[in-house]
Amino acid sequence: MSSKEIPFGSGVEILSMFGATFSHNLPLMSPMSGESKGQVRGRDHHALASLIGRRVSIRLHEAAGGYRDLLGTLVAADQVERRDGSIVAFEPAAIFAFREVLPKSATARSLADGEKNMNEGGRGTGVSIYDTLSRQVRQIQSSDNKEVRIYCCGPTVYRDAHVGNLRTFLLTDLVRRSIEFAGFKVKVIQNITDVGHMSEDFDEDKILKESKERKRDPFEIAREYESKFHRDLALLKIKKAEHYPRASECIEMMHQHISLLMDKGLAYQGEDGSVYFSSERFESYGALSGNRLSDLKPGHRYEFTEAGAKRFHADWALWKSAGARREMIWDSPWGKGFPGWHIECSAMSLHFLNGHIDLHIGGIDLRFPHHENERAQSNPVAKDLDSTNEAVDLWLHGEHLLFEGRKMSKSAGNVVLLSDVIARGLDPLAVRFCFLENRYRSQMDLSWASITAADRLLRRWRERFANQALSTSHQPSPQATLIIDEIASDFAQDLDTPRALQRLRSLEKDDSFDETCKSEIFAIADRLLGLDLMRVDIQPKRELSQEDSGFLQARIQARASKDYAESDRLRELLAERGIEVRDELDGQVWDWK
């Protein structure tokens, strides 16, 4: 949560109480107006040490008389780090009083608060995630103090995205909503791979392979699946990225990136005309995935092979020479060819996010080799653009999805698309609900039974709470604020979405909250959940007209007199009028279509 700087005297935060000497000197530090019971503060400088690592406000006696206030993170018993990074030392004996500065209530935060926080030099969003590179849960920060810059690896558009792929794309949405809820701006870039993604099994472009099999233009195929991808995101209420750059439209950008790597001696042109990254020249190769170069054996199928052309077996292609290929090729300083898969993400992320990525997101399967290679390609170039050593601050990976106990694959025949969910009459957001019920970092097993149960629960929640729609100007009650803060905090702590949903399940049954209060909590929590909980599913009540009623009667008579031609004619007529008729054992039944 973003901290708010609250000066002494405003009396709005919970304070730590230490030392019996507190009660004297009351004239200056007496209970302030608006303070409730339990809000206390401390004066014992020994006790201050317990707040190391926390944000504190300290009032010190000045030698010349009077007081001076210090605000920042306590880094030692006698040092505070200010938001601008400067360290201020103080004399512990001079402490008059101190208190911990706690995050402001989540519901009271707004975008303006986030901007204000950043203008004051704050970078942390208060939202933490597990970072694959440091193997720690770390806070997401805005490195430019304006917005949080996120890059998410997008789809290779040669087939439908299945629900497992969508789980990864949802991860970006959940992080985004958490950061925005905390009051910060977010910029998301997600690429569309429409060229250059080689199949692991054969040295063949995935899109060209599909194009050959279906005898269709490769770009036509790419556009078809690209639009399906956008449709799926919308169905899952995944917020749109700021930009979806296509690999095929960023070729020049990739050339520039490759040239920079060559200038630095990190890439070379092989005998086959292709340009390769020299993996041995990047010292910390393997830091992300744990796959050190010394462990990578030649012939291991982690990257398509280019027999003889590479200097070292773990090098990979940045630019592939066209060879016999005639489609999807471009001119380049190294001859006709096409980009390697990994280079697009390095070039696009740095280009569209202005040289630095605060958070990089992708599925766990991309950690190696895709992200490992991307890091090697990005860091040397980002160093020119940014003073930090890492082009990416945090690497976030989502786990695999199983379906009914098995890995989803075409060969296993258990690939589930969002369109399959809709075809069964289930709400696609039921899939979103199932994803939220499992932490992103654990492998989860989705099933038709769980989607169906989630669909039922969503309908129940909407029916119960959506009708009590609240006006936007409504301020949530303190009772509601408390629960919403807890839910926001679940999201902010490494996306503990199962816990957030558990709170709502408990709330639904809790008699100490009235229906209006429950509704307001569900409404505000939905900004994080994205389950469309305030949607009123209106089924317009339709009256059967006298005319239609007459047709239904006439059909019963036609069947009784075995005039099946007439009964079929009436069935078709009714169908055109939106009425579906079926003949069951105990007679004719009908329903609105």
Contacts with Zn ion by CB under 5 A lie at 153, 345
Specify the residue, 97 or 353, whose C-beta has the smaller distance to Zn ion: 353
Least gap, CB of 288 to Zn ion (angstroms): 13
Specify the residue, 169 or 513, whose C-beta has the smaller distance to Zn ion: 169
Q: Could you give the angle at which helices 546-560 and 564-576 cross, rounded to 10 degrees?
A: 160
Spatial distance between the Cα atoms of 536 and 459, rounded to a whole number of angstroms: 10
Coil, strand or helix: which one is 580? strand
Specify the residue, 44 or 303, whose C-beta has the smaller distance to Zn ion: 303
CB 362 within 8 A of CB 397: yes
Least gap, CB of 350 to Zn ion (angstroms): 12
Q: What are phi and psi of 580, to 5 degrees?
A: -100, 130
CB 129 within 8 A of CB 394: yes
Specify the residue, 345 or 444, whose C-beta has the smaller distance to Zn ion: 345
Q: Which residue has tokens 């405003």?
A: 10
Least gap, CB of 361 to Zn ion (angstroms): 10
DSSP codes joined into one string, 182-244: TT--EEEEE-BB-S--B-SSSSSBHHHHHHHHHTS-HHHHHHHHHHHHHHHHHHTTPPPPSB-
Specify the residue, 347 or 531, whose C-beta has the smaller distance to Zn ion: 347
> Beta strand pairing status for 392-398 and 357-363?
parallel
CB 320 within 8 A of CB 340: yes
Spatial distance between the Cα atoms of 361 and 392, rounded to a whole number of angstroms: 10
Spatial distance between the Cα atoms of 471 and 480, rounded to a whole number of angstroms: 15
CB 195 within 8 A of CB 304: no
Least gap, CB of 69 to Zn ion (angstroms): 47
CA dist list (Å): 501 to 421, 433, 435, 491: 22, 9, 11, 10
Specify the residue, 1 or 394, whose C-beta has the smaller distance to Zn ion: 394
> Beta strand pairing status for 275-277 and 267-269?
antiparallel
Least gap, CB of 233 to Zn ion (angstroms): 17
Least gap, CB of 226 to Zn ion (angstroms): 16
Spatial distance between the Cα atoms of 85 and 22, rounded to a whole number of angstroms: 31
Specify the residue, 90 or 244, whose C-beta has the smaller distance to Zn ion: 244
Coil, strand or helix: which one is 537? coil
Least gap, CB of 153 to Zn ion (angstroms): 3
Least gap, CB of 330 to Zn ion (angstroms): 20
Least gap, CB of 261 to Zn ion (angstroms): 17
Specify the residue, 248 or 497, whose C-beta has the smaller distance to Zn ion: 248
Residue 574, both tokens: 């009714």
Q: Do you find a cis peptide bond into 369, omega within 30 degrees of 0?
A: yes
Coil, strand or helix: which one is 246? strand
CB 181 within 8 A of CB 144: no
Least gap, CB of 345 to Zn ion (angstroms): 3
Spatial distance between the Cα atoms of 270 and 475, rounded to a whole number of angstroms: 65
Least gap, CB of 176 to Zn ion (angstroms): 18
Backbone Cα Rg of the chain: 30
> Beta strand pairing status for 587-592 and 579-584?
antiparallel
Specify the residue, 57 or 377, whose C-beta has the smaller distance to Zn ion: 377
Specify the residue, 83 or 375, whose C-beta has the smaller distance to Zn ion: 375
Specify the residue, 122 or 196, whose C-beta has the smaller distance to Zn ion: 196
Spatial distance between the Cα atoms of 2 and 356, rounded to a whole number of angstroms: 22
